[in-house]
Amino acid sequence: MSAILDALVKLEQSIGKLEGAAVHIETALSGEQRDMFGGGKPPAANGNGIDAGLVAEKLDSAIAQMETVLQEGHG
């Protein structure tokens, strides 16, 4: 279970970094006018084309697995 707890701590730290980066990007874009009706989706901020939906799906799956493991550990 220690490996899982270590992974959860690292995940929490990474989420904090991700939230900070999102705030930074939103702040940087706050003065820009965004086109709400035209064109496709904007490119990823870092240009690597990350699929946000796929990332969300993977995070949801990991959360569900960790919830199961933690419930079994406290069951």
Q: Are 25 and 45 in contact (CB under 8 A)?
A: yes
pLDDT tier at 11, thresholds 50, 70, 90: confident
Predicted confidence at residue 18, as pLDDT, reads 85
Amino acid at site 5: L
Predicted confidence at residue 52, as pLDDT, reads 78
DSSP one-letter string for 3-46: HHHHHHHHHHHHHHHHHHHHHHHHHHHTTSPP-SSSSSPPPPTT
pTM: 0.55
Through-space distance between the first and last CA atoms of the chain, rounded to whole angstroms? 14
pLDDT average, residue stretch 48-74 = 82
